[in-house]
Amino acid sequence: MTEYTDHHGPEGLLVRGTVVVVPGRGETRATYGRFGRRLAADAYRVRVVDAPRPDADDPEGALTRFAALVADAVAGAAGAEGVAEPVVLVGADSGAAAVAALLAREERFLPAGRPHAVVLAGLPGPDTAFTGGGWDDELDARTSCPAHRGTLTGDEQVRRGSLGEPVPGALLDAAYGGDIAVPVLLLAGDADPLADHPALARLAKALPKARLSVVRGAHHDVLNDLQHRSVAAEVVTFLETLRNELRPLVAVESSAW
């Protein structure tokens, strides 16, 4: 039976939407505890699923199984009044590639056309690879946040060395195909050794509704690096803008910076 980790908002508040978080290579649901709690504090229902398992020999079968996992996660997150909308998928690393590939292949794999939007964080470049040595090198590629480094190191279920495992080419080809109709927030650290920034820029321009946000000083684990507060705020801003039909709620008229 598939298991999830749920983060609920403050009691008594209207749930503003449903967010399903999809971890990346080697990560566990615990990796996104801090991120999930922060979004839940703003009254979003957050459910973290297990990382998908890509299959280079059977990419279609792997996507079908992933679609079933996501559909089950969304359906199970329903409250007394049904699933709180909008429904947004947040994928990190290979999870981002799986989410993008799934939406590119089948936009309406959930009832009523859900999900309504996606966040792709730390999407690996099609021609990038981690070639570091031991665990310290992998941590350096992932993050400079002491708390996140401690979370990864202390979690016995985290697969060390997983960042060196290649993401199937078919998955990345689909992810970078630019065929996602729903709104997309792309998040990338400018210090991410696995990011292909020109390819991300091309993808953002190719998508009909996309925003590319580059986080200064952030590494591959852009949702969990030192800038995690600002990144979570960017995600919440995207969620709130989505609820307002992609019309920004705040416009800067004058600023000294």
- Paired with 92 in beta bridges are 121
- Give the mean pLDDT per block of 10 residues along the chain (257 residues): 85 93 96 97 96 82 88 85 92 96 68 78 90 92 97 96 90 88 96 96 96 98 98 98 94 94
Predicted pLDDT of residue 113: 46
Number of helices followed by number of strands (H, E) in the chain: 8, 7
Predicted pLDDT of residue 77: 85
Predicted pLDDT of residue 75: 87
Predicted pLDDT of residue 114: 67
Predicted pLDDT of residue 112: 45
Predicted pLDDT of residue 146: 97
Predicted pLDDT of residue 106: 59
Rg (CA), the chain: 17
Helix (H, G, I), strand (E, B) or coil at 95: helix
The model carries a pTM of 0.94
Of the candidates 86, 97, 96, the residue with the CA atom closest to the CA atom of residue 32: 96
Count of alpha carbons within 13 angstroms of residue 39, beta-carbon side: 31
Task: Report phi then psi at 187, rounded to 5.
Answer: -120, 130
